[in-house]
Amino acid sequence: MPGTLFFFLLMNPRRIRLIISLMTAALVGIICLQLYWIGWNIRLNEEQFDKNVYDILHRVADKIEYYESITVLEALKNTFRPSADFNRNLRRAAQRLESASASRRRLHADTLIQGGGELPHSFEEEMLRWELMKVNQLVDSRVLTDRVPLDLLDNVLREELKSYGIDAPYEYAVYSKAHQSFVIRNGHYVVPENTPHLPASGVSSLYNSPYRAPLFSKDVEPPGYLVIYFPARTQLVLGSVWKSMLLAFVFTGIILFCFLYTIQVIYRQKKLSEMKTDFINNMTHEFKTPIATISLATDSIISPMVIQDPDKIRRFAEIIRQENRRMNGQVERVLQIAQLDRNEIQLRIAEIDLHDLIRQAVANFSLQVEKRQGTLRLDLQARNPVVRGDATHLSSVIHNLLDNANKYSPLQPEITVRTRDTSHGVAITVEDKGMGISKEARKYIFDKFYRVHTGNLHDVKGFGLGLSYVKAIVDAHKGAVDVRSELGKGSAFTITLPCK
C-alpha cells in the first residue's frame, strides 16, 4: 500500500508540487523559529549580562563609600577619649547625621541641629555630631582621586566580577565631573585633560561605554562615576549560547540536506518511472509487430491454398524465423543490461584488431543505410588499432552506435566512422549529421530506458538501452565514452579504448 501511494504521488505532478510546497513552508518555518529562538536567547543573555555589570558597579561604589565612612568614624574615634559611652554616642551621632544628610546637605549647621527631628541627649553627642559633620564636609571637599583608593578599587572590582562569574578582559576608569575627564584608569592616576574630547587609543571605548555608576551618591552632587568597558562583550554574551547555536545550525543543515535530497529522489524516481513506462510502451510496440507478423504467417501456412505449396510454406517459415530472431535479439539485449547491472557478465578477453571489427560491422549495417539512400564512410587512421577486449561485445557497441546514428538521421543519413591514435589508446568516433541532441538531454542519454523525445514516441524505435549498454561495455574495458552534439547539426560519439 505505501508503495502504491508513493507511485501515485510520483505520477501526479500537482500532488508533488503540493507536497514540496508544504515541506518548503515547514522547513522555512523551522528555520525562522530557530533564528527567533537564537535571537531571543542572545537578547536574554545581553540583558542578564547588563544587569550583572550594573549591579557590580553599584556594589563597588557602595563599598568605596562605606570605606570612606569607616575612615571618617575611625578619625573621630582617634580624636576623643574612647569609652563605652563615647562609642555609643558616636554611633548615634553618625546615625543622626546620616539621616539628616538625606536632604543632601542643603541646610546650614544650625538648621541641621534643630531640624534633625530630635535634639541630642548630651553635650558630648552634640559635639560628636558637629565633629562628624565637619569631617564629612572636609572629606567632600577633597578631589575625587583622594577619595578613591587605587588598591581598594582594583581589588573590590576584581572580587565582584569574580563573584558574578565574569572572567573576561576589561578596562575601568573613574570620571571626574570637575575635570570633565578620567582621573583614574586601570589602576593608575591619569592627568586630567583641559578640554573634554574623546581621546584615542582605547579611551574612547570607556567614554562610550554604557556601564557606569555614580560615586559618592550621598553627596549633594556626585563628584563622578565609575565606568567599565568589556572589549570582548560580544564573545562574552555569545559564549553561553554558541553551543546551542552550533547544534541548531547543524540540525537545520541536516534537515535542509534531507529535504533537498528527498526532492531530488522524488524527481529522480518520477523520471525513472516515466522512462520505465516509455520502455514498456516501446517494448509492447516492438513485440507487437513481429507477433502480428508471426500470427499472419501461421494463419497463412495452415490455409488450404498455401499448405499445398512447399515454396510458400518455406517463405512464411523464413518470415517466422526472422521475426522470432528479432524478438530474441530484443530480449537478449534486455538480459545483457540486467547482467551488467548485477556485474554478472563475463568478458572473453582477446587481442582484437579494431579496424577489422569496424569493417565487419559496417559491412553488416550498410544495407540498412543504403535502403534509406544514405552513405556510410570509413576514415580509419589509427596506426595501432589492436586492443584487448571482448570481440562480441565491442562489435555490439559499434553496431549500437551505427544504429543510433541511422535512427536519428532524418531522410538520407550521412554517417562517418573514424579512428585515431591517442595518448591513452585508440579512439573510435561515429559521427552523423542528424537531428542532434540538446544540452539537457546529453545529461541522461547514457541512463537506462532514456530516449530522446522526437515528437511521436514511436517514430524512432528502441527501448532506450543502446547507449546504456555502450557505456557499460566501454567502462568494463576500462575505456571512456564521450559525445559532442548540436541540435540540427548532428552528433559524434567517441569511445576510447586502452591499447594492449
Checking if the pLDDT of 227 tops 50, the result is yes
Chain centroid to CA 128: 75
Q: Indicate the fold that domain 347-498 takes in CATH.
A: Heat Shock Protein 90 (3.30.565)
With contact defined as beta carbons under 8 Å apart, do 237 and 49 qualify? yes
Long-range contacts of 108-112, Cβ-Cβ distance < 8 Å, separation of 24 or more: 109/133
What is the per-residue pLDDT for 133? 56
Collect all residues with Cβ–Cβ distance below 8 Å to 226 and sequence separation of at least 6: 57, 60, 61, 153, 172, 173, 174, 175, 212, 213, 214, 215
Residue 300: pLDDT above 60?
yes
The residue among 107 and 204 whose pLDDT is bigger is 204
Among candidate residues 199, 195, 165, 191, the one with its CA nearest the CA of residue 180:
195
The residues facing 87 across adjacent strands are: none
Task: Give me the amino acid identity at 281.
Answer: N
| Residue 240 DSSP class | T
Q: What is the pLDDT of residue 118?
A: 46
Report which listed range, 48-57, 119-128, 179-188, is most confident: 48-57
Mean pLDDT, range 425-435, rounded to an integer: 91
| H-state helical runs in 213-353 | 233-238, 242-301, 304-307, 310-341
* 236-340 CATH: 1.10.287.130
Residue 130: what pLDDT?
A: 56
Give the Cα separation of 363 and 93 in Å (integer).
Answer: 128
What element of type H or E holds 379? strand 375-380
The CA-CA-CA angle for residues 452, 454, 458, to 5°, reads 100
Determine the pLDDT at residue 416: 92
Res. 5 pLDDT band, cuts 50 70 90: very low
Element (H, E) at 231: none
Query: What phi and psi, each to the nearest 5 degrees, are found at residue 373?
Result: 60, 40
Q: How far apart, in Å, are the Cα atoms of 207 and each of 196, 334, 358, 404?
A: 11, 82, 88, 81
Query: What is the mean pLDDT of the segment spanning 441-459?
Result: 65
DSSP-assigned beta bridge partners for residue 174 = 184, 226
Check if the beta carbon of residue 465 is closer than 8 Å to that of residue 449: yes
Residue 51: is its pLDDT beyond 90?
yes
The stretch 350-375 carries a mean pLDDT of 87
Q: What is the mean pLDDT of residues 410-421?
A: 89
Give just the sign of the alpha carbon dihedral 229, 233, 236, 241. positive
Q: What is the DSSP letter of 234?
A: H
The span from the CA of 348 to the CA of 410, in Å, is: 37
3-state secondary structure of 220: coil
Asked if the model's pLDDT at residue 164 lies above 70, the reply is: yes
Cell of 320: 517466422
Pairing type for strands 414-422 and 425-432 reads antiparallel
pLDDT tens, position by position, 307-334:
778 888 888 888 888 778 777 777 777 7
Q: What are phi and psi of 176, to 5 degrees?
A: -105, 125
Span 89-140, pLDDT tens digits: 555 555 554 554 444 444 333 433 344 444 445 555 555 555 555 555 555 5
User: Can you say whether residue 117 is alpha, beta or left, with left for phi > 0 and alpha for psi between -120 and 50 degrees?
Assistant: left
Q: Strands 188-189 and 386-389, how do they pair? A: unpaired
Task: Tell me where in the chain the CATH 1.10.287.130 domain(s) lie.
Answer: 236-340
DSSP 447: S
DSSP lists the bridge partners of residue 376 as 415
Cα torsion 442, 446, 449, 452 to 10°: value is 20
Check if the beta carbon of residue 358 is closer than 8 Å to that of residue 377.
no
Sequence-ordered alpha helix ranges (H) in 164-241: 203-208, 233-238
The CA distance from 285 to 279, in Å, is 10
Q: Which residue has the cell 578620567?
A: 182
- The C-alpha atoms of residue 196 and residue 178 are separated, in whole angstroms, by 11
Tell me how crowded residue 230 is: count the other CB atoms within 10 A of its CB.
Answer: 21
- pLDDT at position 4, please? 45
CA count, 13 A, side-chain hemisphere, 430: 24
How far, in Å, are 334, 450, 453 from residue 463 at the CA level?
Answer: 9, 8, 12
pLDDT at 347: 80
Which segments within 122-187 are labelled E, that is strand? 171-176, 181-185
Residue intervals of the chain classified under CATH 3.30.565.10 are 347-498
Q: How many residues does the chain have?
A: 500
The pLDDT-based confidence of 378 (bands split at 50, 70, 90) is very high
